[in-house]
Structure 1
Amino acid sequence: MSRKKAGPASAPSATSHSANEANSIYTSTSTILASSTSTSVASTSRQSLKHRNGAAQNGHASSSSSSSTLSTKKLTLSEDHADSTDNSDSSSERFDAQDELNRRDKEMPYCPSYSVAFKVFFLVRALAATYSNISDCDEVFNFWEPMHYLQYGTGLGTWEYSPVYAIRSWAYILAHAIPAEIARLAMSANRLQVFFILRIILGAVSAHCEATLYRTVVDEVDPRIGRYIFLALLSSAGTWIAANAFLPSTFAMYTTMLFFSQMLQPPRQHSGKRTFWAIFWVGLGALLGWPFSAAVGLPFALEELLIHSRNQSKKKTVRFRDWRRMRFLRLLSAAILVLGIVLFPIIIIDHYYYKRLVAVPLNIVLYNVFGGDVGPDIFGTEPWWFYFVNGLLNFNVLFIAALISFPVLALTYLIIPDVLLDSPNSPGHIKSPMLLFSLKLSPFYLWFAIFTAQPHKEERFLFVVYPLICFNAVMTLFMVQKFIQRGLDNFVPRSKTAAIHKYSGGLVWIVLIVAAIVSVSRILALHEHYSAPLDVYRSAFDLVKVPEAIAVEASEPGVLSSSTPSASDAASLSGSKSQKPEIVRVCVGKEWYRFPSHYFLPEGSRIGLLKSNFDGLLPGEFKEKTWEGLENNTELPPLPNQPSAAKGKEHRPIRFDWRWSADRRPGTSFVPELMNNENKEVFEYYTPLDQCQYIVDVDFPGRPESDDENNDQASQSSGPNYEPRYLQDKGTWEKMYCKKFLDTTVGAGRNRWVRAFWMPNKISVALTRGQSKVWGDYCIARRKSN
């Protein structure tokens, strides 16, 4: 935001209420969120800034309110005025200004530095990397599994990776696989450790982006608002879920925070640095991550074309009628430059792996916008209020505050405009503060409106603007605080004004702390109720035993044929005994969507998908066999000679032979014949039960037996029962490790509040009229030897 005007100002001084005194304060200091920076700052101001930063870091600043949010660090002496007085008067005035700055330095609240903020954010994100669940199966099958295929040569692939459709980028996978591989080599980590190391790396990236956004709010908006957003980002359940996810929407969330940090800075007339970096981060998030994230950059483009900067500069001021043309050319040149820097390498990498020229960002837009009957809606639609419920679950009261941020801004501008209006004498004065503030708050509204209008909705689609929800929310709380202060000023004696302002600021902290407590309750509920799959598969890494003869080396896996039998229909899935499989199969049926990837299985084992009641398209295994005549993936066969430009001569093509090369990973360019984009079931992707040495399933003993019998009879009347209670067949399966998993169909689990938020058992029992939580057994079991 701008340096001298872009948000609601702080409360008036506690020692003055008259119009003359207020005007004196406004003319000597600049108000909230300045619109431009001054390039000619007096030396006394710079010294005061250093003094303020040092005092703030040592915690000496108090939380007293002031009439202007940025006045203490942006109060400057006019050089023209200093030149018009004699030396003694100038010196005296500088000392007076210095004393004023020093006095106000002590009133500023303590704000952690970037270094401290990063460490705090990283601590929380590292905990999330270890304990947070995988909330979306698309994260596994569209990103973790392809990366596992690049690293280890095996994995499941979805139809999105078929070269026919190519709506997933191998460049995005490679951008994550490289740091994961470096960590594997540096730490001699196994694949399970690589999984969590990459999640920690993603948490570190998120911590950097969050700390950058927080410090920008402190420096460019207001220190108090900076402290508010620090707590909001740190404690919200939404950022806990999104920060460590291996998803394009999470990547776009990172770039959105860095972009918004640029947008909060004041517009510059004589420098294109802010414009370039804002466009760069938007472009990187849209081209490498998710194309639709470019929508958050539209308000920035409008700001560049509508808000005129009047920052001080020694350079010649651009004529007013020419500045929009200059800004437009700057935006256009930055967009073209970023397009070349980002998109060109992506196309090269995807062409190398797909072995055809594809533009993945364009394919994503065409599929989601112009997909028609085979668009994303075939995977399910949600009602219009889906994102409202999601926002309340993950941000509770802060989501409501974010939704009403624009109406509160309008009321602030109409009722107490001096909170927004800048000093007419300020070099960064902006004539349209309402327009400026509206543009700062609009990215969240724009994104929320676009995706609420779409029938196909998923929680991850909102990840991009999770930090903007926090920003809009704390802006609302800050402006409401000013309403309370102004209202109470008219009814309390002047001697009690300072106390009123102090306690009104405390109300904001109460709201933030309550929101944090509710968010922590949400986080604890997700872990307690639904963390069993991650824990069970983590144990499977040690419990699943692979014979030495079929074990593979992590450094260079061999080519193994899965030899999964085909089935023309569902009846063949439970056919007679087949030959012994070449690899160890860990099978999963109705719980297939909670499989956390092959990183949780030891070398030499694979996941096997059993038929369940789900009748859509499941992922299939990436092609592994590269060429005929070689048993191990140790040496590539020579390429045939090709005719050269010189007549009668031949040459041998150059091959880049490395572990992740397209020749060693033929599945990247192989077109599966059975893959489709219509979500039609493919029975050939299933594994017969008799080939499973291990099975992962959930069993709910608390459910009435009569219900199970009725379900069995209903399923038999309509066809085979594809979801038997495998763990009850104790003659075939032996339980090895189990964790409790909440049953949401009986007991207290049916109550949406009980299953959504953690609460003591006494409260949940009282809320459900005497019912308690009923737990199922989420287990891994092995087949008993005959």
Structure 2
Amino acid sequence: MPRMPKKTQLPTPPTTPASATTPGREPGGSEQRDDVASSAVHLANSNNHATTTATPLKQTLKQRNPSSKHSSNGHGLANGHRTRTDSKMGEFEDTTDNSGSDSSSDRTELLDELARWRNAVQPYCPSYSVAFKTIFLVRALAATYSNISDCDEVFNFWEPMHYLQYGSGLETWEYSPLYAIRSWAYILIHAFAAEITRLAMSANRLQVFFIIRIILGAVSAHCEATLYRAVVDEVDPRIGRYLLLTLITSAGTWIASNAFLPSTFAMYTTMLFFSQMLQPPHQHSGKRTFWAIFWVGLGGLLGWPFSAAVGLPFALEELLIHSRNQSKKKTVRFRDWRRIRFLRLVTSAIAVLACVLIPIVVIDRYYYKKLVVVPLNIVLYNVFGGDVGPDIFGTEPWWFYILNGILNFNILFIAALISLPVLLVTYIVIPDALPNSPSDSGQIKDPLLLFSLKLSPFYLWFAIFTAQPHKEERFLFVVYPLICFNAVMTLFMVQKLVQRGLDRFVTRSKTAAIHKYSAGLVWVVLIAAAALSISRILALHEHYSAPIDVYRKAFDLVKVPGPIVIEGTADPTIVAASAATNGATSEDGGVTAEASKKPEIVRVCVGKEWYRFPSHYFLPEGAKLGLIKSHFDGLLPGEFLESDNASGELPPLEAQPSANTGKTHQPFRIDWRWSAERRLGTSNIPLLMNNENKEVHEHYTPLEQCQYLVDLDYSGRYTDKDDSSTADLIEPRYLQDKEKWERLYCTKFLDTTVGAGRHPLIRAFWIPDKVTVALTRGQTKVWGDYCLARRKATLSHPPSPV
């Protein structure tokens, strides 16, 4: 005779008043939802759902909700995202495989009801779509208004891409085939996007520049929104909301998101990798492992090899944390799981290495005309470079990255630095308050180890590059999103500690109010950090955006004599039409010899401001940058060597004998504008180039050959008593020589040596002028003139309109 089941009461929705919440739990938060989900698991583990209760259950559920089908939760959760409610439902269903079909249907409806109860109190979290659109709006603004913070971005990436697209550009020693520590594969993927933009939108080179920055911002927005949703689904919805706000408002992500740098590309892949790492380990599936290794490998091989260091904590997690995730498959024996994980890591790494590295080597072999492994060359140079390593370009003190982090993330950077100590204190005092703890998922036995591994990528990266003497701001771009994650984790845990501490000193009736105000304090901190970051962004734009503005004007103001040249094409019909427009056609309708010539090269020269040049995308067709002597005595870039094929046309190939007697055929050759045969500068060894940062005088342009000049004049540093005897002979005040130079366009640039600009806070953050005067005891900001000037001697022969 079958045993009669014990009577079971259907769990009711949580209706406990806020004043009666458990100490340490926030009313209306995820703890309350987890209690509901835990009751479902308790019902599953107990043998209390027999078929005798099926009919009452079904009737009760239908009365509460006539449509018990799966539906959207109505709280912004994107379709397809796994939540902890789903895992609880999976655990419940796995324990009831032997039940009848009617009973299983009733249990499914019951779990749907429990999930709806949980969603009813879940805090609002924007969906992936809403998050992406919001972040992309900010990134599009950054693409338009943010400065280029590092000259390496221009000379090592924008200029080579301009050379591939338009056949002109400046080359650094890193692209010399002798050293080959920059990959043409990385340039090529961006050049494809640039060329598609040019063809599809008929965009000129200046428009291509900004559109590429917007595309980079869109990629960043996708990665950031993916990371945000992973935190919402795998960690805690409130932490996800905190993270979304910090990603949108921080000055660090504003600077890094649109940069054309390998460290920014590695930042993209790090976000996608970390989204995989946040998922719990799986015993029976290698999908998480493969994609985590793939993103780390892609960022390390195609972007920056050192970014692979952020994947080390993931490998440790795979080998140290055993997941007993529920599955219908047979559970792997404990002594075998680590061996299986290790083999999974190795096979994934080999597959990614083959899929990513082989195409990179093939592309670099095509352009360099020699076999090179660029990621290996980068590591050898930076680690084993010796006397010619990166230290020759300057060293910084150990606290450089701390100061940089505080400037770009302010309070959040300090919170990120103390995330591990706060985690340890939280685990000792209130371990049940950790998000995604074992009390929630029942899968991970050691939450301290789990969260230590999640927080460690930032610490590992910070320690590695702090130990290096040569430091640059862009080196920290890789972990900028992880700084935000560590910071919001700290704020979340501090909130829990404050709640638990205050619960001991107040009455039970005031607990809900304390929890409410403590949560509000987190938002106060986040809003304060956002305000400081916005102030930093405004300061960067107001104080230092003059180079972008001046060169943007130069695209229209610099005039090139000669026929009109449609960029990116040598179509004779276009040249003929352009020549006819300018009256340069012969009587029979052909193009005259004068019109068929290439446009005359116009030199736009810079001296001390060479490192703020934003690339040849800001100069019209036929204009090139000229470098004049300044106090900088290091190695400046030179032009790509095109001596063997100055015209850019493909050299003829000798006809080869055909298989058929008496016939010849033309050898196969890739005939496109970016081919290595047309861009010989990719394989030609530049003259007098070195990797020791030694000055090469041949890279300078004589001032007499400069038709235009971009210079910065700090008039506030001089008085009327100054005369020529005190003038700087190497960097003279060109703009003051009004007999030779005519100012075409000028804008202001902050002088950081006189006036209020000497104070670090004044020049680092935007502060209203009245407050600035009060803080500096009457001093105001002094501005220099950042100008584009034209040589007056050229006015007697006005150039042809372009």
For this structure pair, what is the TM-score category when the shorter chain's length is used for normalisation? 0.7 to 0.9
Is residue 604–residue 625 contact of structure 2 (8 Å, CA) maintained in 1? Answer: yes
Q: Kindly tell me: are residues 24 and 771 of structure 1, through their superposed partners in 2, closer, same or farther at Cα, counting changes over 3 Å?
A: closer
Match of 2:355 in 1: 341
Q: Give the Cα–Cα distance (whole angstroms) in 2 for the partners of residues 90 and 284 of structure 1.
A: 45
After superposition, the C-alpha distances for 1:368-390 in whole angstroms (9 at most, x for unaligned) are 00000000000000000000000
Q: Which residue among 636, 659, 665 is the counterpart of 1:618?
A: 636
Match of 2:173 in 1: 159
Is residue 742–residue 749 contact of structure 1 (8 Å, CA) maintained in 2? Answer: yes
Deviation at 1:316, TM superposition (A): 1.1
- Kindly provide the amino acid, as one letter, of the partner of residue 418 in structure 1: D
Match of 1:784 in 2: 792
Q: Kindly tell me: are residues 710 and 283 of structure 1, through their superposed partners in 2, closer, same or farther at Cα, counting changes over 3 Å?
A: farther
Q: Which residue among 595, 598, 610 is the counterpart of 2:616?
A: 598
Q: Kindly tell me: are residues 29 and 597 of structure 1, through their superposed partners in 2, closer, same or farther at Cα, counting changes over 3 Å?
A: same
Q: Give the Cα–Cα distance (whole angstroms) in 2 for the partners of residues 300 and 655 of structure 1.
A: 45
- Kindly provide the amino acid, as one letter, of the partner of residue 199 in structure 1: R
Structure 1 residue 190 corresponds to structure 2 residue 204: yes
After superposition, the C-alpha distances for 1:143-172 in whole angstroms (9 at most, x for unaligned) are 000000000000000000000000000000
Deviation at 1:197, TM superposition (A): 0.6
- SS in structure 2 opposite 1:554? coil
Query: TM-score of the superposition, structure 2-length normalised?
Result: 0.84
Match of 2:73 in 1: 53
Is residue 231–residue 278 contact of structure 2 (8 Å, CA) maintained in 1? Answer: yes
Deviation at 1:474, TM superposition (A): 0.3
Deviation at 1:488, TM superposition (A): 1.6
Q: Give the Cα–Cα distance (whole angstroms) in 2 for the partners of residues 460 and 186 of structure 1.
A: 32
Match of 1:3 in 2: none
**1:463-612 pair list within 5 angstroms:** 463-549=477-563, 552-556=565-569, 582-612=600-630
Q: Give the Cα–Cα distance (whole angstroms) in 2 for the partners of residues 692 and 536 of structure 1.
A: 17
Is residue 30–residue 423 contact of structure 1 (8 Å, CA) maintained in 2? Answer: no
Match of 1:17 in 2: 22
Q: Which residue among 300, 316, 319 is the counterpart of 1:305?
A: 319
Structure 1 residue 747 corresponds to structure 2 residue 761: no
Is residue 308–residue 323 contact of structure 1 (8 Å, CA) maintained in 2? Answer: yes
- SS in structure 1 opposite 2:211? helix
- Kindly provide the amino acid, as one letter, of the partner of residue 612 in structure 2: R
Q: Which residue among 472, 485, 499 is the counterpart of 1:458?
A: 472
Q: Give the Cα–Cα distance (whole angstroms) in 2 for the partners of residues 546 and 644 of structure 1.
A: 48
- SS in structure 2 opposite 1:515? helix
Match of 2:741 in 1: 733
When Rg is computed on C-alpha atoms for both structures, the one with the higher figure is 2
Match of 1:565 in 2: none
Structure 1 residue 657 corresponds to structure 2 residue 651: no
**1:338-417 pair list within 5 angstroms:** 338-417=352-431
Match of 1:108 in 2: 122
- Kindly provide the amino acid, as one letter, of the partner of residue 679 in structure 1: N
Q: Give the Cα–Cα distance (whole angstroms) in 2 for the partners of residues 522 and 48 of structure 1.
A: 51
After superposition, the C-alpha distances for 1:3-23 in whole angstroms (9 at most, x for unaligned) are xxxxxxxxx985243899999
Deviation at 1:490, TM superposition (A): 1.6
Match of 1:566 in 2: none
Q: Kindly tell me: are residues 454 and 23 of structure 1, through their superposed partners in 2, closer, same or farther at Cα, counting changes over 3 Å?
A: closer
Deviation at 1:424, TM superposition (A): 6.9
Q: Give the Cα–Cα distance (whole angstroms) in 1 for the partners of residues 430 and 675 of structure 2.
A: 64
- SS in structure 2 opposite 1:282? helix
Q: Which residue among 649, 657, 678 is the counterpart of 2:692?
A: 678
Q: Which residue among 425, 438, 443 is the counterpart of 1:429?
A: 443
**1:82-101 pair list within 5 angstroms:** 98-101=112-115
- Kindly provide the amino acid, as one letter, of the partner of residue 390 in structure 2: P
Is residue 154–residue 624 contact of structure 1 (8 Å, CA) maintained in 2? Answer: no
Match of 1:564 in 2: none
Structure 1 residue 769 corresponds to structure 2 residue 761: no
Is residue 750–residue 782 contact of structure 2 (8 Å, CA) maintained in 1? Answer: yes
Deviation at 1:421, TM superposition (A): 8.9
Is residue 27–residue 424 contact of structure 1 (8 Å, CA) maintained in 2? Answer: no
Deviation at 1:773, TM superposition (A): 0.2
Deviation at 1:710, TM superposition (A): 9.7
Q: Give the Cα–Cα distance (whole angstroms) in 2 for the partners of residues 527 and 296 of structure 1.
A: 32
Deviation at 1:503, TM superposition (A): 1.4
Q: Give the Cα–Cα distance (whole angstroms) in 2 for the partners of residues 358 and 775 of structure 1.
A: 48
Q: Give the Cα–Cα distance (whole angstroms) in 1 for the partners of residues 570 and 750 of structure 2.
A: 38
Q: Kindly tell me: are residues 503 and 403 of structure 1, through their superposed partners in 2, closer, same or farther at Cα, counting changes over 3 Å?
A: same
What RMSD, in angstroms, separates the aligned Cα atoms of the two structures? Answer: 3.2
Is residue 27–residue 425 contact of structure 1 (8 Å, CA) maintained in 2? Answer: no
After superposition, the C-alpha distances for 1:400-445 in whole angstroms (9 at most, x for unaligned) are 0000000000001111122239787876432211111100000000
Q: Kindly tell me: are residues 339 and 83 of structure 1, through their superposed partners in 2, closer, same or farther at Cα, counting changes over 3 Å?
A: closer
Is residue 139–residue 218 contact of structure 2 (8 Å, CA) maintained in 1? Answer: yes
- SS in structure 1 opposite 2:241? helix
Gap runs ≥5 in structure 2? 1-16, 40-57, 62-66, 572-598, 797-802
Is residue 48–residue 102 contact of structure 1 (8 Å, CA) maintained in 2? Answer: no
Q: Which residue among 767, 774, 779 is the counterpart of 1:759?
A: 767
Q: Which residue among 232, 241, 266 is the counterpart of 2:255?
A: 241
Match of 2:264 in 1: 250
Match of 1:268 in 2: 282
Match of 1:571 in 2: none
Q: Which residue among 676, 686, 690 is the counterpart of 2:704?
A: 690
Aligned length: 720
- Kindly provide the amino acid, as one letter, of the partner of residue 614 in structure 1: F
Is residue 268–residue 311 contact of structure 1 (8 Å, CA) maintained in 2? Answer: yes
Match of 1:576 in 2: none
Is residue 772–residue 780 contact of structure 2 (8 Å, CA) maintained in 1? Answer: yes
**1:98-177 pair list within 5 angstroms:** 98-177=112-191
Q: Kindly tell me: are residues 87 and 246 of structure 1, through their superposed partners in 2, closer, same or farther at Cα, counting changes over 3 Å?
A: closer
- SS in structure 1 opposite 2:181? coil
Q: Give the Cα–Cα distance (whole angstroms) in 1 for the partners of residues 363 and 107 of structure 2.
A: 62
Q: Kindly tell me: are residues 225 and 48 of structure 1, through their superposed partners in 2, closer, same or farther at Cα, counting changes over 3 Å?
A: farther
Query: TM-score of the superposition, structure 1-length normalised?
Result: 0.86
Q: Kindly tell me: are residues 425 and 162 of structure 1, through their superposed partners in 2, closer, same or farther at Cα, counting changes over 3 Å?
A: closer
Gap runs ≥5 in structure 1? 1-11, 32-42, 59-68, 559-580, 716-720
Is residue 52–residue 105 contact of structure 1 (8 Å, CA) maintained in 2? Answer: no
